[in-house]
Each structure stands twice: as C-alpha cells, then as structure tokens.
Structure 1
Amino acid sequence: MSEERPNNSILVKRLLLTVAGMFAFGFALVPLYDVFCEVTGFNGRTSNEAATYEMVEVDESRTIKVQFLTRNAKGIPWKFEPSVKEVRVHPGETKVVNFLAANPTESDMVAQAIPSVAPAEASLYLNKVECFCFNQQPLAANSDTEMPMQFYVDPDIPDHITTFTLSYTLYDMTANTSAEQMAQLLKTE
C-alpha cells in the first residue's frame, strides 16, 4: 500500500501570501496612523497647514496658558528655543511667539520642526496661522534666525483645558536635501 503525501504547496503559497499581506499592512500602518492623528488630534498632533483666521469674538472671560518646549532630535547640533517659555492668551485672540535657531556648525543645514500638543485634546483647538513648522528651515553655517509662529486658540476650547503645552522636535533634513535645493532654500531665506 502506498500512502498519498499531502500537497504542501498550497499551504506554503497561502502562508507566503499571508506574510506578504501582513508586511504590506505594517508598511501602510504608519501613514494611516499619521492621517488618523492629524484628523482626530490624537497623540497631540496638530495640522501642518495654515489656519485661516476669521474674526471671532475674543473670550476675555477666560485665559489659557500656552507653554512652549523645544528639543533637538538626535544628531542635530542647533540651538533651538522659544523666545518665551509661556504666554497667556484669551480664546480667539491671536499671538505671535518667536523661536530662535542657531546653526553653530561649519556647514549649511536644513531642519524641520514637528509639533505636538499635550494634552492631546487641546490640539483640536490650536490654530496656527503662520508657523516655521510648515516648511523646512535652511540655516547657513554659523548663523542664527528668528522663526515666528502666529496662532490663536479656538473659543470653543472646553472649559477644563486651562493650560496646554506646544512642543517642537527639530529634525536634521540636510541629508535629504540636494545641493541645488540647499542653494535655492538659502537664497530665499
């Protein structure tokens, strides 16, 4: 009597297809998560687009304390800090805060600031009209600059949010910038 051997090729194909599908899903998860965070404000992510300021009634009966933190990602030697550590703002009122950046190196560099807000719920009510974080920031060797951020807090911010923190992490984008792009960025600076 001969025993019939099971056909494992179908099982192997299914397992390979499953592995490929899991890899594709894992690869797509990061951009999907970013979109989810931007839409919902989850994880303190803020929109990276300029808000349009429409005249709203300023709620002078409330004051929100906005704190500013900065940090550099690993490998970027810039000095990066807010000109003030905190401001008090009435919901609906626009404020401008400058951030200072200095490139102490002998090389031209490009950086990108990524914002986040804590508590995350407050990110839904923070509207940046102008922000250095919207674009990559070039900085010539041994130079410094002031980078403005204009914002307002939506008057619909819940009453229980009286303080929130806006933090920026600065990343080195120089390696992702061609010599031609660097020259163009520094020319428009």
Structure 2
Amino acid sequence: MSDSTPRRNWLESLRRANLQLVGKLSVVAVLMFGFAYSLVPLYNAICSALGINVLSLSERQHAVKARDIKNTQIDYSRKISIEFDANVRGPWEFKPAVSHLEVHPGELTTVMYEFKNVQNRVMSAQAIPSYAPKQATAHFNKLECFCFNEYTLAAGEGKQWPVVFVIDPKLPKDVKTITLSYTFFEVAGKKQAAAPVLNGAKGSKS
C-alpha cells in the first residue's frame, strides 16, 4: 500500500500536467487562428486610415493602361475597306446589314448579319468564314462572332448576330481591301419535319 501511494500521486500529477499543457496549446491555437483571421480587416483598416488602397490603385492603373493602349494602337493614317459577303446553301435569307465599311487598323468595329428561315420547318445551320486576300487572315481579329456555332431556328424565325473585329495594325501596307465572307449552310442530318399547315391556308413563294 505504501509503495502504490506515491505512484498514484505521481500519475495524478502527470495527468494534471498533461491537461494543463493541452489547455495552454489550445489557447495558443485559438489565439493564432484569431490573429490570422484578423489580418485582412486589420490590413484594410490600416490602409483606409492612411488613405492607401493598393487594390483599387492597381485597378485604376490597369484601366488607364488599357485605355492608352487601345487609343495608341489605332492607325489613323490608314483606312482599310472591309467588304462583307454572305453565301447561302439552301432556301433561306442571309445577308450583312451593310455591304462595306472603311475602318482604321486597330479600331474596334461591329457589323450585324441578318438571317431568316423562310421555310415552314425548323432548321439547324452554321456559318463558316473565309477571307480575301489570304494574307489578311492572320490580321483579322474577331472578338465576337457567330461563326462555327450551330443555330436552330423555327419556321419563319429571323435572327441578327454581331461580328466584332479589329484589324491588326501590322497588316501589310499593300493590303487596302479585305473581304469577309460567310457561307451559311444547313447542318447535315439535322433536317426537321415541316410545320403543320392550317386548314384553308395557302402556301406562298418567297
């Protein structure tokens, strides 16, 4: 009995010491987490107090750069004539809103293309672009285009699609005219059934 008493006391002391150590480590972990969590609002508060906003300053500088680059890239000493062409392979209407435009290299330009399904059935089709002369292809940069996308239009439905483009100022000096041509054709295997004709209705030719 006398030998076991000191051992029990020693184990009890060790247990209390371990519990104290765990408690201290827990407190340290909580404090570290709280410190890390407060860094962002603390940083924002300091920046606000000193009148510094690194993020917004960076954004403003980036916006100014983008605006300057956009303006300085336009070559006002040159004009390029852009001709718009549309070819169809099927009974539908497809044409550009304008037949030609004159643009400066580096100038952002938008032109609309119009399409109408004049059939009495749903159809799926897509457009493929081509350029002339060939050396202009690498310098005709489209930011938005309906080409290569597949579209489904109901009977009699019409659509307008934009083409947003920029002519690269590095376009060779001897190129003064570029033709952008689209061929719009029905997607193979996507022909839809004709829409039902109402009683008494007469077909019309377009």
Is TM > 0.5 for Structure 1 vs Structure 2?
yes
Q: Which residue of 1 aligns with 2:161?
A: 147
More helix per residue? 2
- 2:79 corresponds, among 47, 50, 63, to 63
CA contact (8 A) 1:132 1:149 kept: yes
Tell me, what secondary structure is at the counterpart of 2:147?
A: helix
TM-score (norm 1): 0.62
1:72 CA displacement: 0.9
Structure number with bigger Rg: 2
Percent identity, aligned pairs only, is 40
Which one scores higher on RCO, CA 8 angstroms, separation ≥ 6? Answer: 1
TM-score (norm 2): 0.57
Could you tell me which amino acid in structure 1 is paired with residue 112 of structure 2? N
Could you tell me which amino acid in structure 2 is paired with residue 83 of structure 1? A
Q: Which residue of 2 aligns with 1:97?
A: 111
Task: Calculate the aligned-residue CA RMSD, in Å.
Answer: 1.9
Alignment of 1:104-183 (within 5 A): 104-173=118-187, 175-176=189-190
Gaps of at least 5 residues in structure 1 are 1-53, 180-189
Tell me, what secondary structure is at the counterpart of 2:143?
A: strand
More strand per residue? 1
CA contact (8 A) 2:122 2:191 kept: no
Deviations 1:77-105 (A, max 9, x none): 11000000001110001111000000011
Alignment of 1:16-31 (within 5 A): none
Name the count of aligned residue pairs. Answer: 124
